[in-house]
Amino acid sequence: MPGKFVTGLRRFVMWDYSRGTWQYDLMVALILGFIFLTPQSWFRNRPRPSNIVMIEGHQGSDVWIAPELLAGVPESQRRAKASALVQNKFGKGFTVVTVQPILDPESEVTGYMAQVQP
């Protein structure tokens, strides 16, 4: 009995069943189930740019700030902290005007956009 189980498991892992058999259909169903039923939150390994990035635009410059740099900072102090971060990165010639959180569809903060003026 253990020999049949091990043989069946080996054939399953090595994809050794012919098309049209119930074993083949079961493997395909398991793969499709994994693809379509796996929660999106399991795959949060998106590459990230550096912590602070200058974005040139038609209305001046904006700076993207990583969420961990302003995590735990109260909203009243966020602009001052962002200003210090921007000045450390790009020099003293910039003033932060506004800081807006960037939210994903699940209302989680994915970063902050700071509008700066030279």
Sign of CA dihedral 11, 12, 14, 20: positive
Give me the pLDDT at residue 28, please: 92
Q: How far apart are CA 113 and CA 94, in angstroms?
A: 14
pLDDT given for residue 37 in this prediction: 92
Compute the distance between CA of residue 61 and CA of residue 81 in angstroms, rounded to an integer. Answer: 18
**Predicted local distance difference test score (pLDDT) of residue 14:** 83
Non-local (6+) Cβ contacts of 1 within 8 A are none
Low-confidence ranges of the chain (pLDDT < 70): 1, 45-50, 57-60
Domain ranges of the chain: 2-38, 52-117
Tokens 């189980």 found at: 5
pTM of the model: 0.54
Give the per-residue pLDDT at 34. 92
pLDDT on residue 42: 80
